[in-house]
Chains A and B, each alone.
Chain A
């Protein structure tokens, strides 16, 4: 790895000559909102932005950026006529992203389900008369959604899932176009999709919580929260240690939720994990994505905690829905699409000082014990098998 050798000094001198912002920050190319590319600051990952919004604890810095972005969004409809001249289906593609953002804002909705609902709205507003036309429209919408946020694995997976469902079933079953269309809409808006996967995972995982155990939780995962809720409802006595989760302060939100359930909670700063690992019996984390090797991509800090847990022989359990399985195989931490989050240190930082703003890390499979998914309880080695079956 060349950047760990002395030769990197040569390259570093080179990079000072070039513009820093261009080399460091790689922005996901947004196809529809052209105004966004003008602002180099807006390279933060929309996925993590939304997650932070859900947590409800916002930094002032982020708030300013969000306001700026919102201002730009209301301004873009004026630039829409130019955009619509360029691409034929841009009306749909623009509203798909809007629709998706609306759904995504709901704190309880899973990413993939939001994507499916957005695509369903495309079906509803489409004027296609043949199956082929409808599928083409859906493909365009799905592509624009995916390229709008390349850092979100659930979004990609949700789009792929719905596209596969549409192309597969239409060929086999329905001669009548309208009935097919209504069937798609009905399936996509099925309420059960929302809660089913999480309930299954909660049921499977709460078995592993025994009376008197101490659980460490990192990040605010709705699945893990559901799991802990179910365990508390089954009258298991356990206590939870949550990490603070800088910069999103997920721990604060989580401890709030757990306090409502009357579960004893203790907050730790992120650095205090190794210090407390002795009294911990198991670690529970969610996942933003599960990769082919069986490892997970999750909020920054998960890798660190798993390393500590492994060295002290504590099990690390992951709760993830099956649509988070992605056909990715990161070879190291930098081998993913960069997803950046602004960090507010509370004091101004001199411009010469670089800040590591990546929002997520990759935990290799050897540090994970078990994955709880709606496909059942899996060991990390099963993941690639399941992936092949899912994508078949």
Chain B
């Protein structure tokens, strides 16, 4: 246990000091850390899933607080929680389906248990499906009765077969952990392979003699464009340099190295050049539940220009970037201000630092936001690991990968 504490502490420090760059790297490290935590976690015999969920939520809360702007951390925590719940559900369904058959054959026990006739696996699965869904008036009416019945049936099964059940429970708890760790491994592999899976779809979207516009530099975009190049598509790329970090220069060098014709332009020239462009392809920092995109600064402007000239705005994002939260003030709450030194040189402006207004506030301010929010109506298409989607389709992916109970990571106080 001490081992995991040290690991978690170490990771928290790295997050706080922004030592880890890039959502893919962060996501992978978070998943690996949680896998270690799960394998080390000692869980009680009853309600194993609940104990696991609590443990992961506790750590997840700390991780998210360390770097709230890096949404990939929260995403991976919620993915793991969803995995735990799903594995528990599938184990429970198969477990109740099995032992209930022996209850029928055991007549003496059956006499007192006619209140709870054997629930078919379908009924249990249906009620458990309800448990995974968000609350509603319908589930309020139904849920308590169903879950009460399920608990009673599982307890009746336990009572009637204590000896066989105890060994069964141990094997079940080990099975839960085993399944969860297996699925988390799959998750880590998916995160690692996201670039290849997205790049596979490049051929469908990029055609001959097209001009693609991009801003700044993104690993996903590089892989995407190069995959199209491999398949012998001939196209040109306009790269906006992406001030103040000028990552566009790096991208341009990379593309030329791979044999693509590149034109470098300033960010201010985007509106002038956009009418000559066939498609805009960019990466994203995070995708929100309403289809909005948190992207490097300057991309909102490019999206607006693209809409104005009816140019498709395509966003490449791995599934680990999909966040189940809705942004209510993304320009402020999901943004970071970086160092002013990226904009202005201290040496040149040293005399401006001293001058101030009467009340003592300095006259010179520098704002260097890291991210932009692109509203969903400006995005034409999202290309993810499992295909291309509309922004309005994001809710479906969220329902597949996340559980409604995990949206708030703070543990509720015991009531």
Taken residue by residue from 277 to 289, chain B's Cβ proximity to chain A (1 for < 8 Å, 0 otherwise) reads as: 0000000000001
User: What is the interface residue range for chain A against chain B?
Assistant: 35 or more
**Nearest CB on B from A231, distance (A):** 12
- Which of A176, A192, A208, A322 has its CB near the most chain B CB atoms (within 10 A)? A322
Q: A172 near B: Cβ within 8 Å?
A: yes
Contact A193 B123 (CB under 8 A): no
Q: A376 near B: Cβ within 8 Å?
A: yes
Q: A262 near B: Cβ within 8 Å?
A: no
| Interface residues in B376-415 (C-beta closer than 8 Å to A) | 392-393, 395-396, 404, 407
Contact A377 B141 (CB under 8 A): no
Q: In the complex, what residues of B have CB within 8 A of residue A193's CB? A: 137, 140-141
Q: In the complex, what residues of B have CB within 8 A of residue A389's CB? A: 133
Of B113-121, B232-240, B260-268, B366-374, the segment with at least 4 beta carbons within 8 Å of chain A is B113-121
Q: B135 near A: Cβ within 8 Å?
A: yes
Given A193-B140, A207-B328, A379 contacting B145 (CB threshold 8 A): no
Q: A175 near B: Cβ within 8 Å?
A: yes
Picked from B117, B326, B392, the residue with its CB within 8 Å of the CB of A377 is: B326
**Nearest CB on B from A30, distance (A):** 27
- Which of B115, B138, B395 has its CB near the most chain A CB atoms (within 10 A)? B138
Given A377-B326, A379-B291, A172 contacting B123 (CB threshold 8 A): yes
Taken residue by residue from 183 to 218, chain A's Cβ proximity to chain B (1 for < 8 Å, 0 otherwise) reads as: 100010010110011001000000110100000000
Given A381-B395, A382-B395, A322 contacting B326 (CB threshold 8 A): no
Contact B135 A375 (CB under 8 A): yes
Contact B145 A385 (CB under 8 A): no
Picked from B117, B134, B138, B140, the residue with its CB within 8 Å of the CB of A376 is: B134
Q: A378 near B: Cβ within 8 Å?
A: yes
| Interface residues in A349-381 (C-beta closer than 8 Å to B) | 370, 373-379, 381
Q: A165 near B: Cβ within 8 Å?
A: yes
Picked from B119, B141, B291, B393, the residue with its CB within 8 Å of the CB of A187 is: B141
Picked from B114, B115, B116, B137, the residue with its CB within 8 Å of the CB of A321 is: B137
- Which of A161, A183, A379 has its CB near the most chain B CB atoms (within 10 A)? A379
Given the complex of chains A and B, what is the CA–CA distance between A225 and B134 in angstroms?
Answer: 23
Contact A390 B138 (CB under 8 A): yes
| Interface residues in B141-162 (C-beta closer than 8 Å to A) | 141-142, 144-146, 149
Q: A112 near B: Cβ within 8 Å?
A: yes
Picked from A162, A164, A192, A375, the residue with its CB within 8 Å of the CB of B134 is: A375
- Which of A168, A173, A196 has its CB near the most chain B CB atoms (within 10 A)? A173
Contact B404 A376 (CB under 8 A): yes
Contact B137 A322 (CB under 8 A): yes
Q: A102 near B: Cβ within 8 Å?
A: no
Given the complex of chains A and B, what is the CA–CA distance between A29 and B140 in angstroms?
Answer: 33
Chain A residue with minimal CB distance to B137? Answer: A323
**Nearest CB on B from A293, distance (A):** 12
Chain A residue with minimal CB distance to B333? Answer: A210
Chain B residue with minimal CB distance to A160? Answer: B138
Contact B137 A197 (CB under 8 A): yes
Q: In the complex, what residues of B have CB within 8 A of residue A187's CB? A: 141, 144-145
Q: B164 near A: Cβ within 8 Å?
A: no
Given the complex of chains A and B, what is the CA–CA distance between A385 and B141 in angstroms?
Answer: 21
Q: A41 near B: Cβ within 8 Å?
A: no
Q: In the complex, what residues of B have CB within 8 A of residue A173's CB? A: 116-117, 145, 149
Contact A375 B136 (CB under 8 A): yes
Q: B201 near A: Cβ within 8 Å?
A: no
| Interface residues in B94-136 (C-beta closer than 8 Å to A) | 114-117, 119, 123, 133-136
Picked from A169, A210, A378, the residue with its CB within 8 Å of the CB of B142 is: A169
Contact A196 B149 (CB under 8 A): no
Task: Point out residues on B near A: beta carbons under 8 Å.
Answer: 114-117, 119, 123, 133-138, 140-142, 144-146, 149, 289-291, 326, 328-329, 392-393, 395-396, 404, 407
Task: Point out residues on A near B: beta carbons under 8 Å.
Answer: 112, 161-162, 164-165, 168-169, 172-173, 175-176, 183, 187, 190, 192-193, 196-197, 200, 207-208, 210, 321-323, 370, 373-379, 381-382, 385, 389-390
Offer 22 A-B interface pairs, CB within 8 angstroms, sorted by A.
Answer: A161-B137, A162-B141, A165-B138, A169-B142, A169-B146, A175-B115, A175-B117, A176-B115, A183-B145, A187-B144, A192-B140, A193-B137, A196-B140, A208-B326, A210-B328, A210-B329, A370-B290, A374-B136, A375-B133, A377-B289, A377-B326, A378-B395
- New A-B contacts (19) at CB < 8 Å, excluding given A197-B137, A374-B134, A379-B290: A165-B142, A169-B142, A169-B146, A190-B140, A196-B140, A197-B136, A210-B329, A322-B137, A322-B138, A374-B136, A374-B137, A375-B134, A379-B291, A379-B395, A381-B392, A381-B395, A385-B395, A389-B133, A390-B136
